[in-house]
Amino acid sequence: MEESRLKVQKTAKVLYTISKIIRIILIISSVAVTALCITSMFVDNAELIEQTKEMVSFDWSIKIVEDGELNNIFSERVLIVLGTIVYIISRAVLFVYLTILGNIFADISKGGQPFTNKNSKTIFVLSLTMLVFAFVNPLLAITLLLIGLFLSHLFSYGAYLNKKAEETNHIQESMIVSFAEVVENKSEQTGKHVKRVAEYSKVLAKAMGYSDEDAEKIKLASMMHDIGKLLVPTDILEKPARLTEEEFMEIKKHPGYGVKLLSDVDGDVLILAKRIAHEHHERFDGRGYPDGLGATNISMEGRIVAVADVYDALTSKRSYKDAWEPKQAYEEIVKGSGSQFDEDVVKAFCKNYEEIENIRCTFKD
Ligand SMILES: [Fe+2]
Ligand SMILES: [Fe+2]
């Protein structure tokens, strides 16, 4: 996903540069032709007049005038002025066409959404302006008209697909939030645990270099990290005392249950949710559960949610413990750097601690 977006951005940058180069050429040629036209007005040089006429008569309309009887009516100088005006107008139309198209490409190269109905309409109107240009240079005009119409339809279809994808994402999002609420209600983690872990994860993901879009996906997916608890007996989840070894073994099965519940899911966010549900209790030193993965065998998303989940568990009240002071929980996370947690994620946590604390205060139980 990220790779294909980068490719589109790179291509847009190349197309923007090409449009810029052509625009510069258009300006230079227009200035040169205007200068030639003015010179041939004042300098009596037959060769220069002939050359200038030749240059501005490139366009078809002038050729018609030149080849037909009308030629007799016009003096050569009038023909040159007329030719120059048509030359400048046609280049100006092309210049505007390329500027607007270039701006769209520039926007795409900076990460803007290319496939919008607005871009489609703009390109459609631009294509129609080529009908005016057809009087000057029909071949080029028709080519640009067809390219414009094709791009306009392509952008409109892209906008339609984007809308459909948005709808699907929205359905996916509301399903995830509903599931997360079910898990919260079932486990003793009532309140806003899921919401806080999701927000912390987003902050950490952005600090770890994920794009806004991907950080948003991690935020959503992290909401299902404890979905496996749905299959853990309620009396264990709600036990108002420390768990026995056996009960703890049962709790430790929830990452595996999570994978089972999400085994047949499809789509970016749900696949990510399955990975996070599986790995959020793994430790960086390999002493976590369910698989003792360790280090980079745990996905970065799993390592991020591990920090977010533990920080929130520590700062929240549970039936068997009081909430820790934020400072104490912060130190515990730092203490786990390189052993329980990925050092880089802990660094990101420390760097963005203020934001994380703001989230904790905003979504208090
Ligand atoms: Fe968990
Ligand atoms: Fe949790």
**Triad 242, 258, 326: Cα angle to 5°:** 50
pTM of the model: 0.63
Q: What pLDDT is recorded for position 353?
A: 94
Pick the ligand that lies closest to the CA of residue 281.
1
Q: Which residues contact 197 (CB under 8 A, 6 or more apart)?
A: 222, 223, 225, 305, 308, 309, 312
Q: In whole angstroms, what is the distance from residue 55 CA to residue 360 CA?
A: 72
Asked about 321 being catalytic, the answer comes back as no
Q: CATH assignment of 187-362, given 1.10.3210.10, 3.40.50.720, 3.40.50.620, 3.40.605.10?
A: 1.10.3210.10
Q: In whole angstroms, what is the distance from residue 111 CA to residue 346 CA?
A: 29
Per annotation, catalytic residue among 118, 229, 317, 327: 229
Q: What pLDDT is recorded for position 47?
A: 80
Pick the ligand that lies closest to the CA of residue 193.
2
Pick the ligand that lies closest to the CA of residue 279.
1
Output the CA 361–ligand 1 centroid distance in Å.
22
Output the CA 298–ligand 2 centroid distance in Å.
17
Output the CA 179–ligand 2 centroid distance in Å.
14
Q: Which residues contact 135 (CB under 8 A, 6 or more apart)?
A: 61
Output the CA 304–ligand 2 centroid distance in Å.
13
Domain coordinates in residue numbering, the chain = 2-162, 187-362
Q: What pLDDT is recorded for position 68?
A: 54
Query: Residues of the chain whose pLDDT is less than 70?
Result: 1-2, 57-75, 187-191
Output the CA 224–ligand 2 centroid distance in Å.
9
Q: What pLDDT is recorded for position 321?
A: 77
Q: What pLDDT is recorded for position 291?
A: 85
Q: Which residues contact 225 (CB under 8 A, 6 or more apart)?
A: 197, 258, 273, 276, 277, 280, 305, 309
Pick the ligand that lies closest to the CA of residue 308.
2
Q: How many CB atoms lie within 10 A of CB 334?
A: 14
Q: What pLDDT is recorded for position 63?
A: 57
Q: What pLDDT is recorded for position 200?
A: 95
Output the CA 186–ligand 2 centroid distance in Å.
12
Read off the tokens for 78: 């009038």
